[in-house]
């Protein structure tokens, strides 16, 4: 059955525009991030891992491969949980998997102190109440349990009105602003949870929740954009809540404006004549044990 909710639909097809090379490159990045998350989690054989916002289960199935005793796949998407359940059945892993439909900020379906590791990958960017999410991560962990988080820092990519998606749009500024307004309406940069934090903010939230010690790794880059097929760029929403560029232009521009905007922007995209700003972080913390330490031998 095809996916019906926006989260599953975006993961299944829209994030790569259905283009094989983009899918391959994207998957290679995801695998690298997953491995780093699990390395940071210091997952032991037989331990219980809660993968919050599990999506298609990349982190959770990776944990099972590494010897986790049980993985709790948690997500707000019924479709994605069904996908993970079917995949677990095909792999013969159902006895070691549980499935919980819940948001990151309300994990009340999971008892306190029953999990050894909590992981997220690009989840908190969609959570408005990040304080509540960290409090829930802390609650469900046993003393000595670990949280291992990966999140993009989208504030770093924000630029002034002269650039859009890393390209100089000053010569078509009025048209570009109309397109930009569609995205701003869907995700207001002043209030959207994708933009309301940076690395310091997440570190503060984890500290306030009680995690100690904490470690944060930040990777940022300003360089040339990867080459992208123009048709892929047109059809690929930047995230599940955003419209595609094609849809945004259709909504904001008349025929002449669309033609002028495409005539200007397409050559820049195909030549890679732009500036890419990317930043992401890995955050790791421990729920102190009864003696105030990490709780681990």
**Are 141 and 285 members of one domain?**
yes
Task: Give the pTM.
Answer: 0.88
Residue-wise pLDDT tens digits, 82-108: 999 999 999 999 999 999 999 999 999
Residue-wise pLDDT tens digits, 240-277: 888 889 999 999 999 999 999 999 999 999 998 999 89
**Are 112 and 178 members of one domain?**
no
Q: Tell me, yes or no, whether 206 lies in a domain.
A: yes
Q: Residue 237: what pLDDT?
A: 85
286, two tokens: 């421990």
Q: Residue 23: what pLDDT?
A: 65
**Are 133 and 181 members of one domain?**
no
**Are 25 and 5 members of one domain?**
yes
**Are 215 and 73 members of one domain?**
yes
Q: What single-letter DSSP state applies at residue 48?
A: E
For residue 113, give its domain range. 1-153+195-220+278-292
**Are 40 and 70 members of one domain?**
yes
**Are 181 and 206 members of one domain?**
no
CATH code: domain of residue 41:
3.40.50.150
Q: Tell me, yes or no, whether 84 lies in a domain.
A: yes
**Are 54 and 86 members of one domain?**
yes
Q: Tell me, yes or no, whether 297 lies in a domain.
A: no
* Most confident option among 5-14, 51-60, 228-237: 51-60
Q: Tell me, yes or no, whether 187 lies in a domain.
A: yes
**Are 11 and 143 members of one domain?**
yes
Q: Tell me, yes or no, whether 113 lies in a domain.
A: yes
Q: Tell me, yes or no, whether 209 lies in a domain.
A: yes
Q: Residue 12: what pLDDT?
A: 61
Residue entry with tokens 């990317």: 278
List the alpha helices (DSSP H) in 92-224. 130-140, 173-186, 199-209
Residue-wise pLDDT tens digits, 165-219: 889 999 999 999 999 999 999 988 888 999 899 999 999 999 999 999 999 999 9
Mean of all residue pLDDT scores within the chain:
89
| Cα–Cα nearest to 148, from 33, 42, 58, 283 | 283
* Phi, psi values for residue 218, rounded to 5°: -120, 130
Q: How many domains in the chain?
A: 2
Residue-wise pLDDT tens digits, 64-86: 999 999 999 999 999 999 999 99
**Are 23 and 165 members of one domain?**
no
Q: Tell me, yes or no, whether 73 lies in a domain.
A: yes
* Distances from the Cα of 94 to the Cα of 73, 135, 268, angstroms: 11, 29, 48
**Are 208 and 262 members of one domain?**
no
SS3 87: helix
Q: Residue 14: what pLDDT?
A: 42
Tell me the pLDDT band of 294, cut-offs 50, 70 and 90: very low
229 - beta bridge partners?
none
Q: Tell me, yes or no, whether 68 lies in a domain.
A: yes
**Are 202 and 73 members of one domain?**
yes
């Amino acid at each position: 059955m095809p996916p019906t909710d926006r989260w599953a639909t975006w993961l299944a097809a829209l994030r790569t525009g259905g283009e094989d090379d983009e899918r391959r490159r994207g998957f290679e990045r995801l695998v690298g991030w997953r491995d780093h998350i699990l390395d940071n989690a210091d997952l032991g054989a037989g331990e219980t891992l809660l993968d919050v916002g599990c999506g298609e289960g990349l982190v959770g199935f990776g944990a099972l491969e590494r010897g986790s005793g049980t993985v709790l796949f948690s997500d707000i998407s019924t479709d994605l949980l069904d996908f993970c359940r079917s995949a677990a059945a095909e792999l013969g892993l159902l006895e070691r998997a549980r499935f919980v439909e819940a948001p990151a900020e309300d994990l009340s379906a999971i008892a306190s102190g029953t999990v050894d590791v909590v992981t997220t990958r690009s989840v908190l960017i969609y959570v408005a109440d990040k304080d509540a999410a960290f409090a829930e991560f802390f609650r469900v962990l046993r003393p000595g349990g670990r949280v291992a988080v990966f999140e993009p820092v989208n504030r770093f990519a924000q630029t002034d009105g002269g650039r859009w998606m890393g390209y100089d749009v000053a010569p078509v500024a009025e048209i570009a602003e109309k397109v930009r307004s569609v995205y701003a309406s869907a995700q207001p940069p002043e209030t959207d949870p994708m933009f309301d934090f940076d690395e310091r903010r997440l570190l503060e939230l984890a500290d306030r929740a009680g995690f100690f010690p904490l470690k944060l790794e930040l990777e940022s880059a300003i360089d040339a954009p990867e080459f992208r097929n123009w048709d892929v760029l047109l059809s690929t929403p930047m995230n599940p809540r955003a419209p595609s560029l094609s849809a945004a232009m259709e909504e904001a521009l008349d025929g002449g404006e669309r033609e002028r905007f495409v005539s200007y922007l397409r050559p820049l995209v195909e030549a890679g004549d732009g500036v890419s700003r990317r930043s992401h972080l890995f955050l790791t913390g421990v729920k102190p044990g009864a003696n105030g330490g990490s709780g681990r031998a």
